[in-house]
Amino acid sequence: MRYFIVSRIDREEALAFARMLAEDLRMAGHTVLFEHDTADTLKMDGGISFEELPGRADLVVAVGGDGTVLRAVAKMQPQLPVIGINWGEVGFLADLERGHALEFLTSLKPGFSVEKRMRLAFESDHGPIGDALNEALIVTSRPAKMLRFSIVIDGDVAETFRADGIILSTPTGSTAYAMSGGGPIVDPWIDGVLIVPLAPYMLSSRPHIISTDRKIEIRLETTKPANLVIDGVEVEPLGLSGSIRVTRSADPALFVKSERTFFEKVEQKLRRL
C-alpha cells in the first residue's frame, strides 16, 4: 500500500506521531510519502504537494483534528480516500484514535471499502467559488452586523429574514457549526442542504433541510460587505448584494471505512461530552 501522510504542524506531538507512524508503515513493507509542509516542519527531504499526488498514493492519512481532514480534502484534485487520526478536540471526521491507527492501517488491503460523502458546490453571479465538505458560512466582514437573506427554492421565495449570518451545511457538516447554530444531526446518507440561520432576528426563522435535487439559491441584500467562508478556510468576498447558488458537487469526498459507524460516533463523541 502507498500512504500519503499530512499532519497538523502546530503540535509537536502530532508531528512526532506522524514520523513514528511512517517508520512503522515502512518497516511493514509499505510506501510512505509526506505532504511538503509536514516534511519541511519535520526537516525531512522528499515532501510533495497535493498537486503532485495523483497516481502516487492509495490513500491519505491526516494526523490532526477535523480541520486537518477538511484542508486535505479541499486540496485534493481528484479526490483520494482519506482517513483521519484524531489529534484534535472532538475529531468527528478523524475516525481513528492514535492507539489503534497502525493496526488499522496495516490491515488495509487493495480494494478496501470507501464511503462517499457529498460535498456542496457554491457559485456566485461571477462564477464557481468552491466546494465544501462541512459547510459554507455567509457573514459580514464586520462582526455583529446583521444581513438580509432570502431563501429561494425552485424559483420561489421560501423565506426572507435578517440574521447575523447563514450556514449552508452538508449532512456531514451537521455535527459541526450547524449543530452549534441550533441545526439537527443529519444522516450523512441523505442528499440534502441544511440551511441554518445564525442568530436570526425573528424566532420564527428555523433551519431547513432541502433536497439537492431542487434549485437552491440564497439572495443577499445588505448595506454591509459580506463574505462566504468555505469549511473555515476559503474566504470569498460577496459585496453588498447578489446570489449564491448551491448544488451537489460532482466531486464527493472519499473516506476509508473504519470500524465505527456514523451513529456510533454521535454517541461516543457528542452525547458523552
Residue 143's SS3 state is: coil
| φ/ψ (deg, to 5) at 137 | -125, 130
Sign of CA dihedral 217, 218, 222, 227: negative
Q: Pairing between strand 2-7 and 31-34?
A: parallel
Dihedral angle over CA of 188, 259, 48, 128, nearest 10: 0
All 3 cell numbers of residue 217?
439559491
Q: Could you confirm whether 66 is annotated as catalytic?
A: yes
Rg over alpha carbons for the chain, rounded to the nearest Å, is 20
Catalytic residue among 66, 95, 164, 231: 66
All 3 cell numbers of residue 133?
465538505
The answer to whether the beta carbons of residues 222 and 160 sit under 8 Å apart is no
Catalytic positions, please?
Answer: 66
